[in-house]
Amino acid sequence: MKHYEVIDAHAGAAVSGAEELAYEVLVGLSSTPKRLPSRYFYDDAGSALFARIMRLPEYYPTDCEREILETSGAEISATMERPFNLVDLGAGDGDKTLILLRDLVARDVDVVYVPIDISEGAMQGLVARIREELPTLQVQGLVGEYAQGVRWLAANREERANLILFLGSNVGNFDMPSARGFLGRLWAHMRLDDRLVVGFDLKKDIEKLLAAYNDSEGVTAQFNLNLLHRINRELGADFQVSGFRHYGTYDVKSGAMKSYLVSLERQEVRVEALERSFVFDPWEPIHTEYSYKYLRSDVDQLADDSGFVVVARHEDRQGWFMDDVWKPRRSPKLGT
Ligand code: AVI
């Protein structure tokens, strides 16, 4: 039996995946300042680089969240009536979720694990690891974007309640209107007895933030630059990747870590799929990622604005990271 399904997000859609990337590159590199969306980081190579980032000593969010799940994981899953699905949005290598899964399997809880990830390579690795470590666990993985996860929830609404994980401060990669929009869409597809666990990276010493996004081994730089390799490969572009450098900076006003690729010289890059070139001036940046950092009061506001009530809040000892458990706020009149 195959334990995951590859969903073609573009089946029957007006544009293919390659056309969508081409469109984003056209719009982003024609803008001033230039930009590219961070969701394109996660091809198989990018997902593998992100797995390395999570093991770096400077990248504190993973260790903080691991501590939270080790301390409070059983309490988080105890918020669910049984049986339930554990839906993991952006599961990646599933390393942290395995903390919850080991506990659930040890307690013989009737749970189906539904990891959703954009990278098929990451999904293969995750499913193989689960087959090896937790062979009795039911797994139904989906290779697709968050939107397919939301669609899966809608299609499986009658079956069981869902504990939805949106860990790792993935929400921080959305700007604020998009965060409200995405969480609101989840809200609309959730049952009243579903629960959502959202990981938030909290505002902290700026030096810690800068170190986490400018690591000494240069893995974050490779992760950012991989976007150019991907565009070269998938759109027939000729980026000289060594002509760009990674730059991560913190904007205190918006609370965002911002990542850029900065052109080191004047260069012209041809993108064959678009039949056009883009000129980069020396030191011209391409903005590639936001990683928003939150105050606890920002999180309260976001929960309220996207239709949720905070039912529990779990922090690591240092107060650097927070996993919030939310339930949808709405009357059963709207449907269960
Ligand atoms: C996936 N996401 C939550 C990571 C973050 O911290 O924003 C991606 C990342 N970018 C640079 N380092 C890690």
Ligand 1: residue of 62, 119, 202, 213 to mutate (most ligand atoms within 8 A of CB) is 213
Burial annotation 12-27 (CB, 10 A radius, 16+ → b, else e): eeeeeeeeebbebbbe
Residue range 56-90, pLDDT digits in tens: 999 999 999 999 999 999 999 999 988 999 999 99
| Residue ID of nearest Cα to ligand 1 atom 7 | 291
What's the rounded Cα separation, in Å, for the pair 167 and 178? 17
Residue range 123-141, pLDDT digits in tens: 999 999 999 999 999 999 9
Instruction: Please check whether residue 104 is in contact with residue 139, taking contact to mean a CB–CB distance below 8 angstroms.
Output: no
Q: What is the pLDDT, as a whole number, of residue 1?
A: 57
How far is the first Cα of the chain from the last one, in angstroms, to the nearest whole number?
33
Calculate how far, in angstroms, residue 263's C-alpha sits from the geometric centre of ligand 1: 22
| Residue ID of nearest Cα to ligand 1 atom 9 | 50
Beta bridge partners of 276: 271
For residue 85, the SS3 value is strand
Instruction: Compute the average pLDDT of residues 106-115.
Output: 96
Ligand 1: residue of 39, 173, 323 to mutate (most ligand atoms within 8 A of CB) is 173
Q: What is the pLDDT, as a whole number, of residue 235?
A: 97
Mean pLDDT of the chain: 94
Q: 46-52 contacts: CB < 8 A, separation 24 or more? A: 46/119, 46/223, 46/226, 46/227, 46/230, 47/92, 47/117, 47/118, 47/119, 47/121, 47/122, 48/121, 48/122, 49/219, 49/222, 49/223, 49/226, 50/92, 50/223, 51/92, 51/93, 51/95, 51/122, 52/219
Calculate how far, in angstroms, residue 56's C-alpha sits from the geometric centre of ligand 1: 12
More confident residue, 122 or 11: 122
Residue range 200-235, pLDDT digits in tens: 999 999 999 999 999 999 999 999 999 999 999 999
**Ligand 1 pocket, residues with Cβ under 6 angstroms:** 53, 61, 168-170, 172-173, 213, 220, 289, 291
State percent of the chain over pLDDT 70.
Answer: 96
| Residue ID of nearest Cα to ligand 1 atom 2 | 170
Among residues 324, 312, 82, which one has the least CA distance to residue 193?
A: 82
> With DSSP H G I counted as helix, E B as strand and the rest as coil, what are the percentages for the chain, rounded to 5?
40, 25, 30
For the entire predicted model, the pTM comes to: 0.94
Count of other CB atoms within 10 angstroms of residue 108 = 8
What's the rounded Cα separation, in Å, for the pair 42 and 63? 21
| Residue ID of nearest Cα to ligand 1 atom 4 | 170
Q: What is the pLDDT, as a whole number, of residue 158?
A: 83
Calculate how far, in angstroms, residue 247's C-alpha sits from the geometric centre of ligand 1: 14
Ligand 1: residue of 166, 289, 322 to mutate (most ligand atoms within 8 A of CB) is 289
**Residue whose structure tokens are 């150019």:** 228
| Residue ID of nearest Cα to ligand 1 atom 5 | 291
Burial annotation 116-155 (CB, 10 A radius, 16+ → b, else e): bbbbbbbbebbbeebeeebeebebbbbbbbbebbbbbbee
pLDDT of 280 over the 90 cut: yes
Q: What is the pLDDT, as a whole number, of residue 333?
A: 78
Calculate how far, in angstroms, residue 336's C-alpha sits from the geometric centre of ligand 1: 34
For residue 130, the SS3 value is helix
Residue type, 305: D
pLDDT of 277 over the 80 cut: yes
What's the rounded Cα separation, in Å, for the pair 196 and 218? 34
pLDDT of 8 over the 70 cut: no
Calculate how far, in angstroms, residue 291's C-alpha sits from the geometric centre of ligand 1: 6
| Residue ID of nearest Cα to ligand 1 atom 6 | 291
Residue type, 202: L
List helix spans (H) across 81-213.
Answer: 97-106, 120-133, 146-155, 176-189, 206-212
User: In whole angstroms, how far apart are CA 38 and each of 21, 106, 172, 317?
Assistant: 11, 37, 11, 30
